[in-house]
Amino acid sequence: MKAIKNIGLILCFIGFAIFTGSIFTGKNKVSQKTFDTWAKQKVKSAFFIEKAQKEIVAIELSAFELSHRIREIAKASNTYHKSQKKIAWHKIIPLKWNKTSKDFIYPLVRASATGWPQQHPGLFFWITFGLAIFGGTIAFAADYKILGKAGIKNNGIFQHSATNRGPLGILAFLFFVGFYVVLYFFPNFLINPIAAVNPLSKSLSGNESSQWFLYGFMYCAVMSVFAIRMFIKYRHDNYQILRTAVVLFFQIAFAFLIPEILVAFNKPWFDFKNAFPLNYTFFFDWNIDNLLASGNMGIFMLVWGILLTVIIVPVMVYFYGKRWYCSWVCGCGGLAETLGDPYRQLSSKSLLSWKVERWLIHGVLGFAIIMTLITLYTYFAEIESWRKIAFGISVYDVQSSYGFLVGAIFSGVIGTGFYPILGNRVWCRFGCPLAAYMGFVQRFKSRFRITTNGGQCISCGNCATYCEQGIDVRSYAQKGENIVRSSCVGCGICAAVCPRGVLKLENGPEQGRINPTEILLGNNVDLMQYINRK
Amino acid sequence: MDHFVIIGNGIAGVTAARHIRKNSDVKITIISAENKYFFSRTALMYVYMGHLTFKHTQPYEDWFWKKNMIELKEGLVISINTTNKTLQFTDSTSINYDKLIIATGSKPHKFGWPGQDLKGVMGLYHKQDLEQLEKYAPNNKVCKRAVIVGGGLIGIELAEMLRSRNIPVTFLVREQSFWNGVLPAQESEMINKHILEHQIDLRLGVHLKEIKSDKNGQVSSIIIEETGEEIHCNVVGLTAGVTPNIDFIKASSIDTGRGVKVNRFLETNIENVYAIGDCAEQHEAIGQRRNIEAVWYTGRMMGETVAQTICGNKTAYKPGHWFNSAKFLDIEYQTYGWVFSERNKTENEGYFQWKHPKEAKCITISYDKKNHLFLGINTFGIRMRHKVFDKWLSEKKSIEFIMEHLADANFDPEFYKLHETAIVAKFNTEFNTNITLRKKSWKRIFSK
């Protein structure tokens, strides 16, 4: 069995190695036609076009060299135009590290790639994703025998370098962060993997694959493979099995397949489960316009989106706690509970991190609300989004800084990239504005709680250690107190790892949900009475 | 300002300190020779197994003590002078106290086996035992086999620990079946089987004769009394129970037996000296409890109680209905009320038992044969709600009532398969009754 696991790991590693290596391979040849189409959309400067015509058209270049030349030509062109007496500002090409590659360079690199993966996308798909998925699946499936009888399988977690911030953990951290940086800011280097999923994209929506399609595909694939790990690791625990299956279903169906199929039918790409304010672009002018222009379906999406946030989310949180979303439906949660599960023990439980968490998450919620309010104000007041409205800032500025700081850096690069350092759920715990909103409902008006089973707690600390949200579960359990914290996403692992059967996630009457402290069952002295008398 | 000194920073001592702080502004000092900061010794096994780091076993962050003005002193007390109210430390320093709480816990029980002090022979109680284990059994190359002597809760934990690093384990148990002085046969046998499934070499009905040494004074093998068999090993775990850790008190004027003798208010024979936790011995047992209770939660309760008394609100220790829990490898065990083994139960105690046909799950309910009064329940692989059983015990419910309302008591995680219907069906057949299981009711669960 160990051998099978190792073969699986090797295959998986080969798949990833080819995937990563493909970034540095492949050829591009910009045809005249491709260049003209691109230049027409993106470039106003004749200087740029003339120079580019000589330096990049009809020449075989690597993606790196092509990207580099485009940037250099743009710089030269900008210098030229800035040296003129009257500067033609519309001819200046904006050069920003986080925008130019993806908005300006990527489309040309994508359209001009001619390498081997472009010619054999199917085969390239199988030797990268195919190998990684197959290898990962058999490596985890082998655990069924290797891990032995069903039960809690946490042996060696803090002694293994991958799960204890050791060298392997650091390597995973660098890989994750690197992937997100490339995905968000330099998709021009992901041309080959994007080509690999092109046939799939075409068969689903009819469109060419983009970096976002690649991301969606990889997201589903990673979640599926790690879901197998969850099914085996927690095979004695129906709550974990069901929860993992459901969250995987919502990711594949609602976040991946349905939106692509909608596009095939000329409808807007729409994720029906992605609720505002997590879906922060929902009330952006372009989204509203897009939905309004999409007929009855668009109107339905608009109404659904509003109903989801205003009614469905809080009502469901009232009955079941925010876990119904965070641990059963949400894609971010889904990734955290699958790919992130091996890292859950790394979340900090200190009081300090709880303080930081409250400032950050409520800060992001405030940011999202203010941004949305001014967006809607300018939308209804019919002020263009690029017009400066106060302090020299336009609505567009606010939106793009949120998109950069929160959408890309916080939720992606830090939120997922830092799994091996700060634990999974970094984003869900410190950043997600929807989690903050649901947290208020869960804390103050909900039937959900984690019940502490009387006096059975032995303060061992497994519950708190394996709480991905960094809740010091033990501090409540050892006092016989129920846990009603706003940040709890109801993953249920505290209850699973408890060796004494102390914790149970349940929905019950509001009365008796928050129980007084310092009365432990079996202790016939009512200490609370004494404390109250003081 | 009065100075309250607590010897021992385990759950009893620390709970006492926290509750004294809630009720008064006196100066509090906790003395420990084991570790500066309080940790949960029940979690030591998880440190060795890699589930936790040692830091995770500390329920309070390091700043907690200063913030609550509880002084932590590291040192080993060697004598108590109750006349001058001073404590002597091994480094010949001393401190004075106005009130003293002894909460020194237990130490592993040794029976005077030849070789019991060799290198590689250890108990599993103190933080230092864990360090010893890391030294002598870091992996299965250094430790080719370990022998565990004593089949109780600590023994099986030590076996699980060593197996987590794939170290072969031989487990010597005096009884004919694991822990059958406490557990009914059905459950004891289920655990025997489970131990074997974890590739532990379980030897039932055997005693340790002696531990043999190599030329460096380290364990090399053990000899079994009954068969004379020699088992080569590098580590011997002595887990034949614990005994109060009170040797340094014996010379003082404080009255001791096996433990420090206390009355219901946890007061010793000397004024202003109290004893709590594992090291305290009640003059008379409370209910069917033992005079000395080495259990986590009783330490905590005694800590809470003595804090009331010491702060002027004289309060008797009343631990209420017996309960406990443990985990045997993968099988969780809970108990509420009293279920005695066949060996120890009285004539009028009857059992109702149910066992899952395939999985490692079973229950035993003990009842009074004369009036069908519910006496207690053991559950294996099924979690139960403490609050509900505590109430049923106080209200002296009948076994039939328990059956009818069993769904109220289940505490398994959501979506777990429930077995109440099967349990009640078996009861109806055996007792010729016609009980229908009632649906779980929050109203009943929360009713006072």
pLDDT tens-place string over residues A310-321: 999 999 999 999
Amino acid at the residue B308: Q
pLDDT of B6 > 70? The answer is yes
Instruction: Report the pLDDT value the prediction gives residue A514, as an integer from 0 to 100.
Output: 84
Query: Best mutation site among A349, A467, A523 for testing chain B: the one with the most B CBs within 10 Å?
Result: A523
Q: Is the peptide bond before A277 cis (omega within 30 degrees of 0)?
A: yes
DSSP letter for each residue of A18-35: HHHHGGG---EEB-HHHH
**Contact check, Cβ <8 Å, B416/A238:** yes
* B198, A149 contact by CB (below 8 A): yes
pLDDT digits (tens, 9 = 90+) for B23-55: 999 999 999 999 999 999 999 999 999 999 999
Distance CA A79, CA A73 (A): 10
CB A74 within 8 A of CB A45: no
Taking 50 as the threshold, does the pLDDT of residue B215 lie above it?
yes
Tokens encoding A168:
């392997």
> Helices B296-310 and B11-23, interaxial angle, to 10°?
30
- Residue A522's pLDDT is 54
Closest-CA residue in chain B for A493?
A: B413
Distances (CA, A) of B36 to A264, B9, B125, B396, B409: 66, 8, 16, 45, 40
Nearest 10 degrees: CA dihedral of B40, B42, B47, B48?
A: 150
Neighbours of A91 (CB within 10 A): 18
ipTM of the complex: 0.95
> Mind telling me how many Å the CA of B46 is from chain A's nearest CA?
8
- Quote the DSSP letter at residue B398: B
C-alpha neighbours within 13 Å on the C-beta side of residue A282? 25
At A220, which amino acid appears? C
- Interface contact A237-B414, CB threshold 8 A: no
In whole angstroms, give the CA distance from residue B428 to residue A493.
36
What per-residue confidence (pLDDT) applies to B75?
96
Interface of B with A in 277-336 (CB under 8 A): 296-297, 300-301, 304-305, 308, 313, 315-316, 318-323, 325-327, 329-330, 332, 334
Token representation of residue B150: 């004593």
Q: What is the DSSP letter of B144?
A: S
Is the CB of residue B15 less than 8 Å away from at least one CB of chain A? no
Give the residue carrying structure tokens 């359209």.
A111
Measure the CA–CA gap between A219 and A402, rounded to whole angstroms.
23
DSSP code string of B257-295: SSSEEE-TT-B-SSTTEEE-GGGEEESS--TTS-SS---
Q: Are strands B219-224 and B208-213 parallel, antiparallel or unpaired?
A: antiparallel
Cβ-count burial of A120 within 10 angstroms (0-12 exposed, 13-18 middle, 19+ buried)? middle
Q: Which of residues 432-471 of A touch B (CB under 8 A)?
A: 451, 453-456, 458-462, 464-465
Nearest-Cα residue of chain A relative to residue B302: A523
Give the pLDDT score at A534: 44
CB proximity A524 to B under 8 Å = yes
pLDDT at A517: 53
- Residue-level pLDDT at B340: 97
Instruction: Find out whether B274 and B267 touch, Cβ atoms under 8 Å.
Output: yes
Which B residues, 81 through 120, put their C-beta within 8 Å of a C-beta on chain A? Answer: none
Q: Measure in Å the smallest separation between the Cα of A13 and chain B Cα atoms.
A: 26
How far apart CA B236 and CA B432 sit, in angstroms, is 51
Distance separating alpha carbons of residues B80 and B86, to the nearest angstrom: 6
**N residues, chain A:** 534
Residue A483 C-alpha from the chain's centroid:
27
- pLDDT higher than 50, residue B241: yes
Specify the residue for token string 């509090």: B28
Q: What is the DSSP letter of A59?
A: -
Alpha carbon distance A429, A355 (integer Å): 12
Residues B396 and B373 sit within 8 Å (Cβ to Cβ): yes
What pLDDT was estimated at residue B224?
Answer: 97
Q: What percent of chain B has pLDDT over 70?
A: 100
Along chain A (534 residues), what's the average pLDDT of each consecutive run of 10 residues? 94 95 87 93 92 92 93 94 90 91 94 90 94 96 92 96 96 95 94 93 92 96 97 96 98 96 92 95 93 92 96 97 97 96 97 97 96 93 83 88 93 94 96 97 96 94 97 94 95 97 95 69 54 49
User: Which of B316, B277, B386, B446 minimizes the C-alpha distance to A480?
Assistant: B386
- The pLDDT value recorded for residue A26 is 79
Q: Where are the beta strands (DSSP E) in B307-356?
A: 323-328, 331-337, 349-355
Domains of chain B, each with CATH number or no CATH: 3-107+243-310 (3.50.50.60), 121-240 (3.50.50.60), 323-446 (3.30.390.30)
Q: Which residues of A touch B296 (CB under 8 A)?
A: 458-459
pLDDT at res. A516: 63
Whether this prediction's pTM lies above 0.90 is answered by yes
Q: What number is the average pLDDT over the span B169-190? A: 96
Query: Tokens at residue B300, please?
Result: 């905590």
Phi/psi of residue B346, nearest 5 degrees: -90, 170
Which H or E run includes A61? strand A60-61
